Amino acid sequence: MSGFIATSEQADLKTKQSRQLLRQQVRQQRQQLTLAQQDAAAISLLARFCDHKKIQAATSIALYLSNDGEVNTQQLIDWCWQQGKNVYLPVVHPFSAGHLLFLHYQPHTPLVKNRFGIGEPKLDVRNVILPTQIDIICTPLVAFDDTGARLGMGGGFYDRTLQHWYQHFQANKKSKPYPIGLAHDCQRVTAIASEHWDIPLPEIITPSKHFSFKLKPQL
């Protein structure tokens, strides 16, 4: 039995190291994109975003403020406002570790920096909405593969947010919030060593392509 445990621990360590190395490599790639490349990516992503039927039909969309070389989402936010959609941004939960709150975001909403240095709406319980009340959540990611596997920054924030959706989406195709990943093309990788808590994505939009994946139900 001890030999099995040791082997299992070694496998877990190998997976953890593989994921961390992949994070470093892909983050470096997107951070090295030039300003011109970032601008072109944002314009191309906007075109695909606006053309998405689910996004067109949605009245409430959660987005995020770009950071760490992520494709710029500001034009997506501006378009949603122009279309009269309600936009929500994630806020790190003040006392429930690893969880997110989602707050209504308007052009003049005051922003504060969270502990990761990312802007988020100043916490006001009057502006909080449950994730299940949001039509679409656009998620950031570090890397993805051709099965829809998503590798985030390692905090598990979006995996926890999407757990309810993943448990119910097979039985209820209208289960909310429907997740769509946003990424640069360089964030697509051959394979991701997934952990049991990882929530895959049904769709990912990059500047050059709209990916759709057939997800397996959670065991």
Identify whether the C-beta of residue 31 lies closer than 8 Å to the C-beta of residue 68.
Answer: yes
Q: Are the beta carbons of 183 and 206 closer than 8 angstroms?
A: yes
* Rg of the chain over all Cα atoms, to the nearest angstrom: 18
Determine whether the annotation assigns residue 48 to a binding site: no
Is 126 flagged in the annotation as binding? no
Reported confidence tier of residue 10, pLDDT bands at 50, 70, 90: low
Tell whether residue 157 is among the known ligand binding residues. yes
Classify residue 35 by its DSSP letter.
H
The residue ranges of every structural domain in the chain are: 2-212
Q: What pLDDT, on the 0 to 100 scale, is given for residue 98?
A: 86
Whether residue 133 contacts residue 59, with contact meaning beta carbons closer than 8 Å, is answered with no
Cβ-contact 139, 181 below 8 angstroms:
yes
Q: With pLDDT > 90 as the criterion, what percentage of the chain qualifies?
A: 71
Would you say residue 4 has pLDDT above 50?
no
Q: Worst-scoring range by mean pLDDT, 20-24, 95-99, 101-105?
A: 95-99
Between CA 114 and CA 147 the distance in angstroms is 32
Determine whether the annotation assigns residue 152 to a binding site. yes
The verdict on whether residue 69 carries a ligand-binding annotation is no
Looking at per-residue confidence, does 167 or 44 come out higher? 44
20 labeled binding residue: yes
How does the average pLDDT of the chain come out, rounded? Answer: 91
Fold of 2-212: Rossmann fold (3.40.50)
Tell me whether residue 187 is annotated as binding: no
Q: Rounded to whole angstroms, what are the CA distances from 71 to 20, 37, 186, 214?
A: 21, 10, 11, 25
Q: Is 89 annotated as a binding residue?
A: no
Confidence bin at 194 (pLDDT 50/70/90) = confident
155 is in an annotated binding site: yes
160 annotated among ligand-binding-site residues: no
d(CA 72, CA 49): 12
Q: 1: annotated binding-site residue?
A: no
pTM attached to this predicted model: 0.90
Which residue reads 């939960």 in tokens? 93
Asked if residue 150 belongs to a known ligand binding site, the reply is yes
